[in-house]
Structure 1
Amino acid sequence: MTNDKHLTELIANACHFYHQGWMIGTAGNLSARLPNGSFWITASGCSKGELSPSDFVRISPQGQVEQTSPSLKPSAETAIHQVIYKLFPDATSCYHVHSVEANLVSRFVQGDSLPLPPLEMLKGLGVWEENPKCSLPIFANHLQVTRIAADIEERFTKSPPDVPALLIRDHGITVWATSPETARNYIELVEYIFRYLVAARRTGIEEFG
């Protein structure tokens, strides 16, 4: 398997997230889209802190496996990456991680969106308004990931999200961006906001909505 720059970037970012405690065990998945529309994605069951170029599967734009080692299967959440790339043609990276804070904040509201506090960090997610009122879409977690992907496509087709991120309840955060570096920044920014929300609730700071 070729050791191209896309895999090098995915390996480095996966290792970084692993050491943050956001991709423990074999949790999470990262992908990078190629110019022809296919994309590399982490294989199922691989430790994200010890990835090698052989731990990835290449998926065609139609969702078919194009290249992999015989013993590997694509991530169980490949369908989510596929629908994100379909909905957002400029996206070249899609990252999904699991954190304690993401799961906590997903239970802070009963509805399908999480109001975000008007923090300076929102500028890093493309929100430049003064005292912005924006929210993060929340999706129900299903055993059948294709059902989550279908929910994402239906909702975002009707109502595009305020920020390039979505939260799956009791599961984790997914972001997408035009470069691997930007996707990594988005993960870090969203996780910062989650930590703020958890701390705000603990200390009794008024929540925003």
Structure 2
Amino acid sequence: MNSSKLIDSRVELISAARQFYHQGWMVGTAGNLSARLPDGSFWITASGRSKGELELGDFVRVYPNGKVEKPSTDLKPSAETAIHQVLYALFPEATSCYHVHSVEANLVSRFVKDDTLPLPPLEMLKGLGVWEENPDCAMPIFANHLQVSCIADEIKQRFTTTPPQLPALLIRDHGVTVWAPSSRTARNYIELVEYIFRYMVAAKGVGVLEVEEANS
């Protein structure tokens, strides 16, 4: 593999991170993005780096055998690397995995006590692969354990027995994660799910969701 391909994937991650940062979805050093390479390894944003100021040296490469390649000794992989590893293992077609923190994602994760979030049948669901008319669609929610490995284990266990309807999941009081076959598609997925979350928060504020639930 030539080095230009390695650099290209990081450039795409930098571009997406800056866009999400300016949207307010990756404030401080929050969130993490990764891109899988043909050999099964993946670049992931290093822990503690501002997502609005990423450079090529702010990524760590993680191999399938667990080996970590760091450009400098002060870097360490994102704390949520285990989640990316599990999603890549579960979904071989995925080459990008994006996780952002938004206010709306945290709010909607509190709309229900169950482990799934019913989604309104919006047109935006088509962009996530749902082409049914008036779809009955829900997004899985996982508890925000302090030990990220526990979250990863729960994702693996649930998705192995019950595949998700959408290429997205919520971690309660934390944020949304998507996976996709390309970086461009992953960016689209983030934008689409965040639109849906904003709609749900706005609808809740004016009572639309309560009316829909009462009529269902």
If the length of structure 1 is used for normalisation, what is the TM-score? Answer: 0.97
Tell me which of 172, 177, 180 is aligned to 2:180: 177
Amino acid at match of 2:193: V
* Alignment-derived partner of residue 60 in structure 1: 63
Contact preservation (8 Å) 2:70, 2:76 = no
Q: Unaligned regions of 5+ residues in structure 2, if any?
A: none
Partner of 2:103: 100
| Mapped partners of 1:68, 1:58: distance in 2 | 9
**Is the 1:18–1:48 contact (alpha carbons within 8 Å) kept by the matching residues of 2?**
yes
Which residue of 78, 81, 86 corresponds with 1:83? 86
What is the match of residue 73 of structure 2? 70
1:14 aligned onto 2:17: yes
2:64 match: secondary structure: coil
How far does residue 207 in structure 1 lie from its aligned partner after superposition?
A: 4.2
Q: Which residue of 2 aligns with 1:117?
A: 120
- Partner secondary structure for residue 50 of structure 1: coil
Partners of 1:56 and 1:192 lie apart in 2 by 28
1:199 match: secondary structure: helix
Q: Name the amino acid aligned to 1:184.
A: R
CA distance in 2, matches of 1:68, 1:132: 46
Give the counterpart letter for 2:191 in structure 1: E
User: Quick one: distance in 2 between partners of 1:174 and 1:81?
Assistant: 9
Deviations 1:155-179 (A, max 9, x none): 0000000000000000000000000
1:26-61, CA deviations, whole angstroms, 9 ceiling, x for partnerless residues? 000000000000000000000000000000000001
Give the conservation status (yes or no) of the 8 Å contact 1:90–1:178.
yes
Tell me, yes or no, if structure 1 residue 25 matches structure 2 residue 39.
no
CA distance in 2, matches of 1:207, 1:95: 31
Q: Deviations over 1:88-147 (max 9, x none)?
A: 000000000000000000000000000010000000000000010010000000010000
Report what 1:197 is aligned to: 200
Q: Count matched residues.
A: 209
| Identity rate, percent | 73
Task: Tell me the CA shift for residue 4 of structure 1.
Answer: 1.0
Contact 1:10 1:31 in 2 (8 A): yes
